[in-house]
């Protein structure tokens, strides 16, 4: 924070980051007779003061989730 000219009050930074909201969007999808739910995690656009703070720190919020391969091995 000091290096970016934002002072040394970490509590303000933590409180500002607490305003950032993420959410899961759940969409039911039907495959034949089976209905599955597709989940997509997204981050809401931050309030202007938080966006300015993130910009000063050189941080970016993701606009969408990363695609991750299924990492759980299936037995059987």
List the domain boundaries for the chain.
2-57
Radius of gyration of the chain (CA): 19
Contacts of 4 (CB under 8 A, 6+ apart): 56, 57, 58
Of 2-6, 11-15, 18-22, the poorest mean pLDDT is in 2-6
* pTM for this entry: 0.57
CA distance 37 to 27: 6
CB 37 within 8 A of CB 27: yes
- Is the CB of residue 31 less than 8 Å from the CB of residue 19? no
CB 6 within 8 A of CB 13: yes
Q: What is the pLDDT of residues 36-73, one digit of tens each?
A: 888 888 888 888 888 888 888 888 888 766 666 665 66
């Amino acid at each position: 924070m000091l290096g970016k000219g934002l002072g040394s009050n970490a509590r303000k930074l933590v409180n500002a980051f607490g305003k950032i909201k993420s959410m899961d969007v759940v969409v039911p999808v039907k495959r034949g007779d089976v209905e599955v739910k597709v989940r997509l995690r997204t981050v809401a656009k931050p309030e202007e003061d938080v966006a300015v703070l993130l910009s000063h720190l050189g941080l970016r919020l993701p606009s969408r989730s990363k695609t991750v391969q299924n990492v759980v091995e299936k037995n059987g």
